[in-house]
Chain A
Amino acid sequence: MTKIEYVAIADQVDQSNHPSTFLTKYIWSQDHKVIAIQYSITAIAVGLVALVLSGIMRLQLGFPNEFSFIDPASYLQFVTMHGMIMVIYLLTALLLGGFGNYLIPLMIGARDMVFPYLNMLSYWTYLLSVFVLLASFFVSGGPTGAGWTLYPPQAILSGTPGAHAGILLMLTSLAIFIVAFTMGGLNYVTTILQARTRGMTLMRMPLTVWGIFVATILGLLAFPALLVSAIMMIFDKVVGTSFFMPAILSLGETLDHSGGSPILFQHLFWFFGHPEVYIVALPAFGMVSDVIAIHARKNIFGYRMMVWAIIAIGGLSFVVWAHHMYVSGMNPYFGFFFATTTLIIAIPTALKVYNWLLTLWRGNIHLTMPMLFAIGFIFTFTHGGLTGLMLGNVVIDLPLSDTFFVVAHFHMVMGVSPIMVLFAAIYHWFPLLTGRFLDNKLGKFHFWGTFLGTYAIYLPMHYLGFLGVPRRYYAMGDTDFIPESAQTLNAGITVSAIIVGLVQFIFIANVIWSTFKGKKSGRNPWQATSLEWQTADFPPGHGNWGEQLPQVYRWAYDFSVPKVKDDFIPQNLPSEEVEYLTSERNNDRGKK
């Protein structure tokens, strides 16, 4: 076949391609940076809804029966919507749609994603999924209250809040989200594989790109499981099939279903659900690695091991899903298998934690805002990870599974930890977006409020779990085995949660104020080596690189290289142009 002569997007410098109207520049934009901001604003906005929902839940738990607008049904609805929004519509969308979109082309030296139109379509489809989800607040019966795992049969049976329109809107919204993610995901992997600039080999990519790359592949392979289960559950609900629905008596009435397997849904859900943990975690791992290396002025410890660990975690994440289902009554050998794989996945994960610590070890640590959040992440992630190891064992999980211990565990590992990284990343890359720093004083207040506040929430919550306080309950009622003091603790947790929630509004105020009035950062304020800081214009304009694409000569972690004048060497700086302290070139560096 004859080869098509096509001007690759990476080499397009035609000025006529630049959007000129407000609509094409900011609304129907195909620029990856604008799409990233659209994704981020939407994700944060819907995340704030979920934050408010969690505050309402905590009010009920801390001060039961004090608030008339929270009844058992609405409590379950708030739990469900909080969980689903936070995991899918905030974290996944913000980490991949937001940071993935912004950073991939800039970090690999491309002008844009390889399919900009598809990228734009991905955002608008995502927005549609958010609207469909939020519409469930306004339909008869309200949103579904089936819990974020949406387990059948109860998810679609009368008696469960939102069992009619609510659950259908949730499932439809998820299906639309998956279509949006697939469009975006195909773009991310293809861009990374095909649009890297000259010299940007795979092993020269910053770990942020590696994290996003592997997480996207996980998403592409794991989200279909959620899609399949959503489609089959919609059929069970609307058409009356029995994919997941067994023969069942509901509210005194025998239903027409028979023979379906609710456990099958659980397998499908967690086949998606566990990789989802790493879809969120891997980009966070990558970003925190870069933040730590840059702000400790030291090359990342064990770069190759970090890459291999990301790949290993990605692969292993597909064979641990049933550790979420120990209480479903599985074969003990099955449980043994999944407990083993769960412990194995801890090895590459622990390796990453050690490597972050060893990067910090004897580094020139700058306690900037990004670094504070990155160190905070190491704490919260280690705590969440260690309780994960405990729950990975069947005998420990069985008594703790339905208690607040699990809630505390997954919030530490999957809620607080990625959010610490998100804040580290926002503080770190904010100057790239706006040319200004986020305010440091407000930032410190934000960091300590968030870090100490989340510990004040989740440390006692582990203890509540050990006491046996069950999760998902609207109120304890007369529960003899739970002491009165547990309620006092719950009230304390609620106060902490409200404080942490309010602190986030300080962060939002900081973002808005700093965007317009913040201290100007100048070019490359953190003296980073990676390409996104080396653009022709700062902040980068449409097309990113001006006339000429950058050429990459080195990896992204040349910090504090002996005998070199500056303590960083940008990736696009040729060896001949590196300034040395002595007249001789340092030939020893390659013999390390």
Chain B
Amino acid sequence: MELFKSLRVKPWLSAELEQQTELNSSTPDIEKSASTALKFLLAVITVVFFLFTITFLQRTQSFDFQALSGEVWLPFSNTNMLWQNSAYLLLASMSIILAEKFAQQQNLYAIIISLTATTLFTLLFISGQVQVWQQLNQSGFYITTNPANSYYFLLTGIHALHIVGGVLVLMRCTWHFGISFSYQQLASRLNLCARYWHYLLFIWLFLFFLLTSDASTFKTIALICGF
């Protein structure tokens, strides 16, 4: 609403001239800027996955689409492995919150442990995803044999790339902390990382639901979306 209000201002009127001069008087700080940039980055990532999802939903209605669950012989009739991977990502997401909290408390050992846990759980998630790919390949569900398989490999791959990007940024934060030893700066950066991790967890849960749905679910979604 503030935005709409500011767009209604008549900047040429002298009555409003004096009023506005005092506005926007806070100096920009990097923390706020990074938070704004992160919001836009998450918006970009959302658009990427939204567009992939739209194309996927459209493809679910083609004659050659075979959902990956719904029958016992289909790979995701049993999703234990995916639940396990989800748990890893959830634990990574939780441990990064702890790391941020410990950074605020300036507790170095706890920071090291929680950041190690974050990295470990994240890597476990990625390795778990790779194992799922291997299992799919071993069961004959290759990337080209069915559009559902193609989308599974593509979407989980793109998601994993985003996770890897997050790990690299986290490593950079740790590196900077190693140089500056600024707990406040670390806490601020970990806060941004945590938001990124939570968001990727949310995206993963969405993909989990989407990619492991059965044919009847797709039919209902397509009906609602008008495909």
Interface residues of A (CB under 8 A from B): 1-6, 8-11, 110, 114-115, 182, 185-187, 189-191, 193-196, 198-204, 220-221, 224-225, 227-228, 231-232, 235, 239-243, 256, 258-261, 264, 268, 271, 299, 303-304, 307-308, 311, 551-555, 557-558, 575, 589-590, 592
Contact = CB atoms under 8 A, between A and B. Distances in A.
A4 B21 contact: no
Interface in B7-54: 7-15, 17-18, 20-25, 27-33, 36-37, 40-41, 43-44, 47-48, 51-52
B144 A1 contact: no
A528 to B, nearest CB: 17
B184 A264 contact: no
Contact of A201 (B9, B33, B154): B9
A36 B64 CA distance: 50
A13 B212 CA distance: 56
Contact of A553 (B9, B21, B182, B188): B21
A337 B24 CA distance: 42
B28 A221 contact: no
Interface string B180-218: 001011011001000000000000000000000000000
Given A201-B9, A261-B58, A590-B14, A224 B28 contact: no
B158 interface: yes
B12 A193 contact: no
B9 A186 contact: no
Given A198-B24, A199-B23, A228-B48, A189 B40 contact: yes
Contacts of A307: 7
A268 B55 contact: yes
Contacts of B144: 239-242, 256
A299 B13 CA distance: 13
B150 interface: yes
Contacts of B51: 224-225, 228, 268, 271
Given A198-B24, A590-B17, A114 B6 contact: no
Contacts of B83: none
A259 B147 contact: yes
B138 interface: no
Interface of B: 3, 6-15, 17-18, 20-25, 27-33, 36-37, 40-41, 43-44, 47-48, 51-52, 55, 58-59, 62-65, 100, 104, 143-144, 147, 150, 154, 158, 182, 184-185, 187-188, 191
Interface of B, secondary structure class, is helix
Contacts of B7: 202-203, 304, 307-308, 311
A11 B27 contact: yes
B54 to A, nearest CB: 9
A189 B11 contact: no
B66 to A, nearest CB: 11
Contact of A194 (B3, B32, B44): B32
A466 to B, nearest CB: 37
Nearest to A204: B11
B227 to A, nearest CB: 11
Contacts of A258: 64
27 contacts: A1-B100, A3-B31, A6-B29, A8-B27, A8-B28, A8-B30, A114-B28, A114-B33, A114-B37, A191-B33, A194-B33, A199-B21, A202-B3, A203-B7, A203-B9, A220-B43, A224-B44, A224-B48, A224-B51, A228-B52, A235-B143, A240-B144, A241-B150, A259-B63, A259-B65, A264-B55, A590-B17
Contacts of B184: 2-5
B12 A261 contact: no
Contact of B185 (A6, A114, A241, A555): A6
B158 A231 contact: yes
A575 to B, nearest CB: 7
Contacts of A553: 17, 21
Given A202-B6, A220-B40, A235-B150, A4 B48 contact: no
B37 A589 contact: no
A576 to B, nearest CB: 11
B150 A303 contact: no
A178 to B, nearest CB: 9
A557 B10 CA distance: 12
The 6 closest A-B pairs by CB, nearest first: A590-B14, A555-B11, A259-B64, A241-B150, A114-B33, A224-B47
A456 B214 CA distance: 60
A268 B37 CA distance: 25
Nearest to B11: A555
B24 A200 contact: yes
A116 B98 CA distance: 30
Contacts of A2: 104, 184, 187
Contacts of B154: 231-232, 235, 241
Contacts of A592: 12-13
A232 B140 CA distance: 22
Contacts of B12: 299, 303, 555, 557-558, 592
Contacts of B14: 575, 589-590
Given A190-B36, A199-B23, A200-B24, A221 B11 contact: no
Contact of A554 (B11, B23, B55, B143): B11
A195 B30 CA distance: 9
A194 B36 contact: yes
Contacts of B48: 224, 227-228
B55 A232 contact: yes
B30 A9 contact: yes
B47 to A, nearest CB: 4
